[in-house]
Amino acid sequence: MDHIVTVQEAVTAFAPWREPTAGELAAIEAEMPVITAEVDLLDVQIMTLDRPASELDTFRVRRALRRVLNARRDLANAPTTTGDVPGVGA
């Protein structure tokens, strides 16, 4: 009888060269306001799923969406240095 063995250990083995570089971490840190705003928008949308939307719910969704758009605008207009991350800031 042949045994089927998984290669899980080889797939998830620790690879120190796969750590994010300083430039990649800086790019993530720069995008953090957008990520936070999107999570807040998602929280508000989830909160309004199980009931009819009231005027206050509509206001909360619009305010959260405004925060996402403002964060994206700020990120797009932020000065960046090219060369930190390939393809970012070019």
The DSSP string of 9-46 is HHHS---GGGSPPHHHHHHHHHHHHHHHHHHHHHHHHH
pLDDT value at residue 80: 72
Q: Give the mean pLDDT per block of 10 residues along the chain (90 residues).
A: 61 66 90 96 94 93 97 91 52
Q: Full-prediction pTM beyond 0.75? A: no
Instruction: Annotate 27-52 with b (16+ C-beta within 10 A) or e (fewer).
Output: beebbebbeebbebbeebeeeeeeee
How is the chain split into domains, by residue range? 32-75
Q: How far apart are CA 20 and CA 27, in angstroms?
A: 10
pLDDT value at residue 6: 61
**Number of Cβ atoms within 10 Å of the Cβ of 76:** 9
H-helix or E-strand spanning residue 65: helix 55-77
